[in-house]
Structure 1
Amino acid sequence: MDQTVNFFKLPATYLIYGLVLLFTLSSSYFQGLNVLSKREFETFTAPLLVGFVLASFISIFNFLREKKKCREARFFLQTIESLAMALDERDQYTHGHARRVTNLSLILAERLKLQSKDKHLLRLSGILHDIGKVGVPDEILLKPDRLSEDEFALIKKHPDKGVKILGPMLDDENISKIIKAIKHHHERYDGNGYPDGLGGENIPLLARIIALADSYDAMTSDRPYRKGLPQNKAIAEIKKGRGTQFDPFLSAEFVSLLEETAKTPCPAKQTCEIFGRIANSEISKAFDTQYCSCFYNACARYKINDKKQRSPYLCPDGSFLIKNDYEA
């Protein structure tokens, strides 16, 4: 597992800073030192001690300041994440969307052997990818019919709105990557997406991964004006968009994953309480497409059945939380 950490969050960093400063402050006293002289050591004791104390205070101050910034960033993200989860419950058709997109993204990330730090950033990006929709009126977001051009134009602003929500943390390198993933998850590989019309590998990797998961979940989910596509038709649409809407390499890997796992549906499917609730339309059918009939190893209910214990990743309604295995 990758152990990459932020260099400026290590206490040792500030010890090094202190030693460098100590050397700088005291070196002037050594400039004329003749190693053969009989000068008493006390000549250098005072400046060394002053330099050491000053360097230590500066090191401790800088470390505490960075630690405070980390706590503030973590609290800010946790607050926004809670808001995103609330948005995820806004209506029965999009219910669980962010969680499913995140899990699909992480499953693809495993296939790609992404580093742990990138998986952690991908997890947060997936959960928050639609956070900008908090600024979209309910009458548009929950409209039971197809959107008009003007309404869709308003929906298309949600990536930029998401950037504004997370804007206060732009100076953090990691959060900046999350913001870019949120902003560009509706870009197309051929450059015809939005909001900036980026194309190819100019689109951030995390955004290209989320774009695949987001589109697949949208295709397989029911809407008031249409039924979700079955898995084979959704896979055909992903193949059709290879190299135009989607990254050709990533989409090929994603399709391979879907086709491989579709051959082995969940063995507990017919007796599972959650599948029964899906069949009764209490829970989105997309959970069946993506868990019961596909990635059932990522399903919290399957783990309960298998291990005879309650999973902390199960929501009260029976849907699935994101398993947080990727903390950096």
Structure 2
Amino acid sequence: MFNNEFIKLFKEAFGKEPECKTESDDVSICYEEGNIVIRKGGEIIAQFKDEESDYGFILKYYAKKAGLISPPDKQIEELLKSLFANIIVLTEVEDKNGFSHSQRVAKLAEEFAKYIGMDEEQATEMMHHGILHDVGKIAIEQLMLYSPTRLRNLEAHYEDHPLMGTIYLSINENLWKYIPTVRHHHERWDGKGFPDGLKGEEIPFCARIISIINYYDEVTNFVSADWDSELKTPKQALEEIRKLEGTYFDPDLAEKFIAFMGDVYGIKI
């Protein structure tokens, strides 16, 4: 027997009481041996404990399986990605060709993904990981804009941007898949990175890729006290990536990136 509170919530949501029908392909909801069970064509497709704290999630799951609501809206996802991308690009310095840091990282990420065997859809996703990786810097830019000590504030809060990016993307579940890259693209292979000190393959795969490409673009386009006092040439950057294998970067991915830059861009070391 369904809990009275669950019956009430179900009637409010769908205008009828929950019931179990297993003779057709329709999605149905049942109460079986103390569990709330969702069936399709008689087969169990999901099972939950009868706990009030989970009722909202169960109803949403049922509605999706029954076709009463759509899965996460791709239009909303695309709109949010576009919104964030536009803000990111607006807050970054353009190069002589009109591209910003995140745009360059995104382009290389997409090309590299194809080079290592990802399909078109996966490569497009990697491009989105690239364009969103520094979304947390929006907050740092706002801090600088309204602060009389801009540079010092940027330096003091630089390590906060992966956490700020995590907060930004948490506002909508359609963007959650990008959070691991946004949060962890400054982790190091040896575990001495930030914000969580992840080590080796604990670091999410996409974050390991973006980490290498982010470094390459930074040192070839910006003078940064984090790395050096002058710009590096593409060849010098690749040589440095090789030196940093096993400490900063995944050694396998680093070697593949070096090979990619040689094969695709003709930059040999």
Same-fold status (TM-score > 0.5): yes
Q: In structure 2, the residue corresponding to 1:131 is in which secondary structure?
A: coil
TM-score (structure 2 length as normaliser): 0.66
- 2:254 is aligned, of 251, 255, 261, to 251
SS in structure 2 at match of 1:19: coil
Shift of 1:178: 0.8
- Higher mean alpha-carbon deviation, 114-123 vs 212-221, is at 114-123
Residue 158 and residue 231 in structure 1: after superposition, are their counterparts in 2 closer, same or farther (change >3 A)? same
Where structure 1 has 5 or more consecutive residues not aligned to the other structure, the ranges are: 1-15, 25-57, 142-146, 264-292, 295-328
- 1:165 corresponds to 2:165: no
Change over 3 Å in CA distance of 1:18–1:83 after alignment to 2: farther
Letter in 1 for 2:89: M
Q: Distance in 1 between matches of 2:100 and 2:192?
A: 28
CA contact (8 A) 1:186 1:193 kept: yes
Paired residue type of 1:65: I
Aligned to 2:92: 88
Relative to 1, partners in 2 of residues 1:22 and 1:179: Cα closer, same or farther, differing over 3 Å? closer
| Alpha carbons 1:102, 1:126 under 8 Å: kept | yes
Q: State the one-letter code of the partner of 1:106.
A: E
Q: Larger % of helix: which?
A: 1
Cα distance between partner residues in 1 of 2:265 and 2:71: 46
Q: Distance in 1 between matches of 2:260 and 2:76?
A: 38
Aligned residue for 2:205? 205
The answer to whether the Cα contact below 8 Å between 2:91 and 2:141 also exists between their aligned partners in 1 is no
C-alpha deviation, 1:118, in angstroms: 2.8
Which has more radius of gyration?
1
Counterparts of 1:121-132 in structure 2 under 5 Å?
A: 121-132=125-136
Give the residue type in structure 2 aligned to 1:19.
Answer: D
> Percent identity over the alignment?
28
Counterpart AA for 1:245? Y
Alignment: residue pair count: 209
The Cα of 1:73 is off from its aligned counterpart by 2.9
* 1:91 shift after superposition: 8.7
1:146-295 superposed matches below 5 A: 151-169=154-172, 171-172=173-174, 175-223=175-223, 226-263=229-266
Evaluate the alpha carbon distance shift between residue 196 and residue 17 of structure 1 in structure 2; reply closer, same or farther with a 3 A threshold: farther
Q: Which amino acid aligns with 1:230?
A: T
User: Higher RCO, 1 or 2 (CA under 8 Å, sep at least 6)?
Assistant: 1
Q: What value does the CA root-mean-square deviation take over the aligned residues?
A: 3.6
Flag structure 2 segments of 5+ consecutive residues without an equivalent: 1-21, 31-61, 146-150
Indicate how the Cα distance of structure 1 residues 138 and 242 shifts in structure 2: closer, same or farther if over 3 A, else same.
same
User: Using the alignment, how far apart are the partners of 2:84 and 2:216 within structure 1?
Assistant: 24
